[in-house]
A and B are shown apart, each in its own frame.
Chain A
């Protein structure tokens, strides 16, 4: 079976600005794949090329086995995809049911409107005007418009930007539910927690390039790499008294970076128990997605020139 999405060496420029540069990734059917990156990293441009909204300069793109850049496929393709845009694109003066029924009419096999209303948690809001809904409810209606055509691929461009924490959770639950029902999801986000909570795999984009790509849990080997052990030096004990060399961080806080955490912790804690001293604030941390992300997009934020590959 062909992958849901397949992107090879994709390139797109706006005049002198390179928006997408040699981007390559695949998304399997039923998978949630995230494009993570700061604003202007090329997430939306990539998504818009896959939707057939923008043309590309170079590279190959296949969506459900067809090229979205070829006009004869577009109508078929747009019947198979659902789109949730960054902007809230709904007429304020229509009711929830009116907009859903209108858009359902565009598709050959739409999802029943009542089912959509139910799915996005707007039960009893069907006859309410869009402008009377809260921000979170409007966003859920927006997602409802994305799934009313019963799509096999859903494009979610920053789905929870501007939502309160409760509304974000409901949106996440909805995306998980759709994924469990077999919908492929390509999402973009600049929220680390969102990507960690939802995506099976992630590509970190920085200045139009993929800086890292892989399963969310093990991106860049962060599940097996170094850990950081930190604690506060006990009173009257100097760095030289410890059984293991440490690096001072600030005041009495010290840290050890190691990939042999089992042995190091054993030696450290045995020593502390023998000496009957406490290791205040002892923590062991593994590199978070955020650390990875910040390291990978450092150039981007510093505004430095891009290093050659």
Chain B
């Protein structure tokens, strides 16, 4: 019993395993509906409601652009964060507390395949809601398409990876299933409010300075820049994405130390 114990597996067979797992992650997300309501549903409802109430209102502090032009990239950022942070954190806590994570851990499914599949599945959800928001913005509120699609895509990618890492990190701090929803939602909505998602922050205000240290506002700015507002600037917001990425790296370090595959023993 020596040589045949470590079965050589070809990497493309593991990629097939990724595709297999992504399929079931997607099914779980859409059949379960809770996550779909939280991400795609909420961002669409918020955009439609705020778009209707804003009308053709303009905001001086935003460089005299229509408020709704601020909301489209804002709620794209919201959807990305909701998919990566809130939904993923709740999913992981539920899976951990019901023993699903332990069962996956005890199966031959490699951990990297599981994590890659979860990221890819979350990314697919984010892209779906990005597409829906852009279409609503364009055809209901005449918000132009992004001026740089690659810049938008990169911002979505960085956002999903970083906020997924933050979702996994906060799942380690949530003690049980019952508190998963409230804890993550409260943290999330406070962060969103501080970042001025609903009410744009006046530049130079204390809140604007404070939110510079948090990732949410930077992700919103990065989305905003890909729509190229204000005019004349580059659509690539590298400094903002760097802050988001740093938060993601920090969260990854916490997750590596604190992640649990099973409920805490009573």
Contacts and interface: CB of A to CB of B under 8 A. Distances in A.
Partners in one complex: yes
A103 to B, nearest CB: 7
Interface of A: 2, 14, 51-53, 64-66, 72-73, 75-79, 81, 83, 85-91, 93-94, 98, 102-103, 105-108, 145, 149
**Which are the 3 A-B pairs with shortest beta-carbon distances?**
A89-B99, A87-B99, A65-B1
A76 B7 contact: yes
B98 interface: yes
Interface stretch (B70-78, B103-111, B199-207, B235-243): B103-111
Interface residues of B, number: 27
Interface string B139-175: 0000000000000000000000000000000000000
Contact of B28 (A14, A79, A91, A149): A91
A interface secondary structure, majority: loop
B103 A85 contact: yes
B24 interface: yes
A66 B1 contact: yes
Contacts of A53: 102, 105-106, 261-262
Contacts of A102: 20-21, 24
Interface of B: 1, 5-7, 9, 17, 20-21, 24, 27-28, 31-32, 98-100, 102-103, 105-110, 261-262, 265
Contacts, number: 78
B186 to A, nearest CB: 26
B99 A75 contact: no
A98 B27 contact: yes
B55 to A, nearest CB: 40
B106 A83 contact: yes
Contacts of A65: 1, 5
B108 A79 contact: yes
Contacts of A93: 28, 31-32
A107 B5 contact: no
A66 B105 contact: no
Contact of B20 (A72, A73, A105, A149): A105
Contacts of A89: 98-100, 102-103
B31 A106 contact: no
A51 B107 contact: no
B253 to A, nearest CB: 21
A91 B103 CA distance: 12
Nearest to A101: B24
A85 B9 CA distance: 28
B27 A94 contact: yes
Contacts of B6: 72-73, 75-76
Contacts of A90: 100
A19 to B, nearest CB: 10
A149 B109 CA distance: 12
Nearest to A51: B106
A77 B1 CA distance: 12
B6 to A, nearest CB: 5
Given A66-B1, A73-B6, A149 B102 contact: no
B109 A106 contact: yes
The residue among B98, B107, B109, B261 with the most chain A CB atoms within 10 A of its own CB is B107
Contacts of B24: 98, 102
Nearest to A83: B106
Contacts of A75: 6-7, 9, 108, 110
B107 A149 contact: yes
A64 B1 contact: yes
Contact of A78 (B31, B98, B107): B107
A73 B7 CA distance: 9
Nearest to B23: A102
A231 B133 CA distance: 85
A102 B265 CA distance: 28
B57 to A, nearest CB: 42
Given A76-B6, A106-B108, A149-B108, A91 B100 contact: yes
Which of B21, B98, B261 has the most chain A CB within a 10 Å cutoff? B98
Contacts of A87: 98-99, 102
B107 A94 contact: no
A259 to B, nearest CB: 44
A114 to B, nearest CB: 19
